[in-house]
Structure 1
Amino acid sequence: MVSLFEKCIRESEGERDVSEGTSLAEASREHRILIWKFYLYRATLSEGFIYPIITLYLLSRGLSEGGVGLVNGLFFAGVVAAEIPTGYVGDKIGRRNSLIVSTLLMSISMFAFTVTGSLLGFAAVFVFWGVALTFRSGSGSAYLYDMLDERLDTDEYTTITGRGGAAFLVTSAVTSILGGYLYTIDRRIPFVAAGLITGSGALVLLSMPQTEQYAAGEGGEAFSARDAWHTVRAKFLAPELRLFIVYTALLLSIPELADLYIQPIVVDAGVPEAWLGYLYAAFMLLTALASYNIDRVRDAVGIGGWFAVAPILLAAVLAGMLVEPWLAIPGFVGMRIVKSLSYAFRGQYLNDHLPSLGRATVLSTASMIYGVSFVVFRVGGGAVADTVGPELAIVALAVVVATLSVLLQVVGTPVRPSD
């Protein structure tokens, strides 16, 4: 008798029924509407109302700069602590239901900002916010991939993820500008607006179906904690994932570090603080354009080709700020484009190498590892920035990562073809 764990692993290794699939261009009207609902859901995830003002808001509520750093660190602590448990919950209750839970909790966290005024209170809100995020970190990718596997073609994952990312970024651009304006009226309004737009995502999700496995009652009930542990252990020890996760964690840690210092760097380069909302909107719109056309990048170089050059490209676009301060602006645009495309290609690659049952748990475990890497880079990079300045710290670490990426490609194969 084949155990559920063995079934999951065989499924990921190609021992499942293979269908030709239907391309996005040939999709039925019903399936096109479903994809547009996914784009709408992605748009509701935007918290653009608070992007340009959240640090200012925390300072206005009495937190010091050190306190701001502390509560942001606790956000990642919540993410790391909750990733695996909430990924398992997603596999138990269904990916769509897990996304609904995340949406509602994220909305509550936005509203909580308006009634909190102490360091301890904000610490609790940021931890809660981080935990809320984890209910979608693995389930969101798993839900889309399974929907495509059942209704269209998983080869469309990158294209749809890219266009969904574009919807998210365009919404973020518009709401960032509005958030800056609303903040001048009442500092709490941007958080109320963010909570409302996030909460509306639950209504969109309720109009979307469960995946067939969960709709038929064949999903979570059969997936035990023991199955989850065996699936995670087997997949993370597999050669197609272990080096890839290390490689991409290093790559993605650079933009996660640099994001902390965009505001002071561009202000030092001559951008007035009043223009930051518009600058962030421009960043997001240009990134959205690249994200929407991600299928062209994939067709041109492939996922393996992209990850071979991405670390070097990232270091190159950031290095300009050491030559001329104003080059930080196009450098950050390039960085955000590399970040957006890399996240989408990472999702495609991971899903291609995972079984359906247990997918959310494994993806959440991967997210936990990425979160640890981001914390290390933010804390360590922050210490380096205090010593040599943020510009040199970011560029130096980007060069180190680019060098390590070349060495990893020499000693191994970070990106392997799907079975």
Structure 2
Amino acid sequence: MNSQARRIQGVYITLMLGNTLAASFIWGINTLFLLDAGLSNLEAFAANAFFTAGMVLFEVPTGVVADTVGRRASYLLGTLTLSGATALYYLMWQISAPFWAWAVVSVFIGLGFTFFSGAVEAWLVDALHYAGYDGSLETVFGRGQMVSGVAMLGGSVAGGVIAQATSLGVPFLVRVGVLLAMFVVAFLLMRDLGFTPDRSAGTRQAVRGIWSASIEHGLRNPPVRWVMLAAPFASGVGIYTFYALQPYLLELYGDPDAYSIAGLAAAVVAGAQVVGGYVAPHARGLFRKRTTALILGTVISAVILGLLSITEVFWVALLLLVVWALIFAAEMPIRQAYLNDMIPSKQRATVLSFDSLMGNTGGVVIQPVLGRAADVYGYGASLGIGAAIQLLAAPFLVGSRRQQSPADTAVTVPASPVAPAIEPQSDEQQR
């Protein structure tokens, strides 16, 4: 690996470290925070659904920002938006705000995260192409995930301990501080390499051109389309499971005030990310096709959720959580590499954002549905229902496999795909 590629990976890892650390301070106690603010299970998960809805609404627009203005600019906007919305969360907790206020601010938190999704990943892949990196993408994404896991482990445990020593609101203030620090870091270190925003056309024409090309290389590209259609089921259930495990573990543990135990759920997922990031390139080597690993991971993790739904022993639930998280973590770099190998550079951030939109669409519907199931039947039953929903993702992944894309068997970073030129439309055509 040459020095420029090594530096690019160093910046990427720094961004992943800071982003995850900031976010994870509240991950272990977020559901408890919302319940402490006076929300019911339905309202708490509905607030999370509004957060996800914000990501759905803004994923593609912010992806277009990253592809037309720049990936660095998108990241900087994300740090400012997310820090401001998080500060409002703390304020609403202080004043016991009504549900509608939580819904509105949750949408803005979703907006903040959409400036990151797609932009950082697209920045990395294009910069690595620019630097002549010839290794595998699984290795790079795996390293980023390992660092994120370490940050998540430290942040989630620290958030739970801080909450228990002070109050449930203090970790949110810590998140604001770290995000503002990351704004400074990104401003100094992050540069768009291997990518030049096309500003030759007017803004409206540029956005329309990128949107059209993104649809062409996303939903109209069969192997990419099938992966995207699987995302709502797997991602929606995954988001719910992560947050539902906080109160569920407390319920099994028998102490509703043991916030550090709630933080343990996030810590387990974090530790699994470290191991999964290391294992991903090796796991990839066990299968000729990437889709084989994705299909097996989806089915096995659904089975584990089913087992989680029926256990009544805290330590057994914790062990199942570890296995579920390990499978999820090992799958993620493989999925990222598979998608990136099929997307042209100029539309990369927008297509990746569209993929994130598809996953978050599932979260908008699935979270409140499973939250209501938890209110009526209990957390265990809601996880069992989630397992059945997740299995619906498998046939779509099989559909992607049947397209026999070269990316399914790729092992190194290929030359970046070239998108066909998009003809600017006249004013008459635009009408």
Kindly indicate whether residue 262 of structure 2 is the aligned counterpart of residue 283 of structure 1: no
Match of 2:208 among 203, 226, 233: 226
Match of 1:348 in 2: 337
Q: Alpha-carbon deviation of 1:335?
A: 2.0
CA distance in 2, matches of 1:226, 1:323: 50
CA distance in 2, matches of 1:71, 1:172: 22
Match of 1:5 in 2: none
Match of 1:6 in 2: none
Match of 2:2 in 1: 27
Match of 1:125 among 86, 93, 105: 105
After superposing on structure 2, the runs of 4+ consecutive aligned residues of structure 1 that deviate more than 6 Å are none
Q: TM-score, normalised by structure 1?
A: 0.84
- Asked if the contact 2:198/2:206 (under 8 Å) is kept, the reply is no
Match of 1:200 among 181, 190, 194: 181
* Structure 1 residues 8-40: Cα deviation after superposition (integer angstroms, max 9, x where no partner): xxxxxxxxxxxxxxxxxx332x43233122111
Kindly indicate whether residue 182 of structure 2 is the aligned counterpart of residue 182 of structure 1: no
Aligned CA distance change for structure 1 residues 378 and 414 (closer, same or farther; 3 Å): farther
* Structure 1 residues 245-277: Cα deviation after superposition (integer angstroms, max 9, x where no partner): 113433333322322321233233336452222
Match of 1:43 among 3, 11, 17: 17
Q: Alpha-carbon deviation of 1:219?
A: 3.4
Match of 1:370 in 2: 359
CA distance in 1, matches of 2:117, 2:241: 22
CA distance in 2, matches of 1:33, 1:113: 36
Match of 1:209 among 184, 187, 191: 191
Aligned CA distance change for structure 1 residues 330 and 96 (closer, same or farther; 3 Å): same
Q: Alpha-carbon deviation of 1:309?
A: 0.8
Match of 1:73 among 36, 49, 72: 49
Q: Alpha-carbon deviation of 1:94?
A: 0.8
Match of 2:245 among 262, 274, 280: 262
Match of 2:427 in 1: none
Structure 2 alignment gaps of length 5 or more = 408-416, 418-431
Q: Alpha-carbon deviation of 1:110?
A: 2.2
Match of 2:234 in 1: 251
* Structure 1 residues 336-370: Cα deviation after superposition (integer angstroms, max 9, x where no partner): 22323333222212211111112212221222121
CA distance in 1, matches of 2:15, 2:262: 26
Q: Alpha-carbon deviation of 1:74?
A: 1.4
Q: TM-score, normalised by structure 2?
A: 0.82
Match of 2:143 in 1: 163
Q: For 1:293, what is the secondary structure of its paired residue? A: helix
Match of 1:106 among 79, 82, 85: 82
Kindly indicate whether residue 336 of structure 2 is the aligned counterpart of residue 336 of structure 1: no
The size of the alignment, in residue pairs, is: 390
CA distance in 2, matches of 1:156, 1:210: 21
RMSD: 2.7
Match of 2:68 in 1: 92
401-410 vs 160-169, greater mean Cα deviation: 401-410
* Structure 1 residues 194-247: Cα deviation after superposition (integer angstroms, max 9, x where no partner): 111122222232212212332xxx535457122123212312112121112113
Q: In the alignment, residue 294 of structure 1 is paired with which amino acid? A: A
219-228 vs 235-244, greater mean Cα deviation: 219-228
Kindly indicate whether residue 278 of structure 2 is the aligned counterpart of residue 300 of structure 1: no
343-352 vs 76-85, greater mean Cα deviation: 343-352
Q: For 1:335, what is the secondary structure of its paired residue? A: helix
Structure 1 alignment gaps of length 5 or more = 1-25
CA distance in 2, matches of 1:65, 1:172: 25
Match of 1:311 among 298, 301, 307: 298
Q: Alpha-carbon deviation of 1:322?
A: 4.9
128-137 vs 190-199, greater mean Cα deviation: 190-199
User: How high is the sequence identity, in percent, across the aligned residues?
Assistant: 24
Kindly indicate whether residue 91 of structure 2 is the aligned counterpart of residue 115 of structure 1: yes
- Asked if the contact 2:53/2:110 (under 8 Å) is kept, the reply is yes
74-83 vs 291-300, greater mean Cα deviation: 291-300
Q: For 1:358, what is the secondary structure of its paired residue? A: helix
- Asked if the contact 1:213/1:219 (under 8 Å) is kept, the reply is no
CA distance in 2, matches of 1:154, 1:379: 44
Match of 1:390 in 2: 379
- Asked if the contact 2:225/2:400 (under 8 Å) is kept, the reply is no
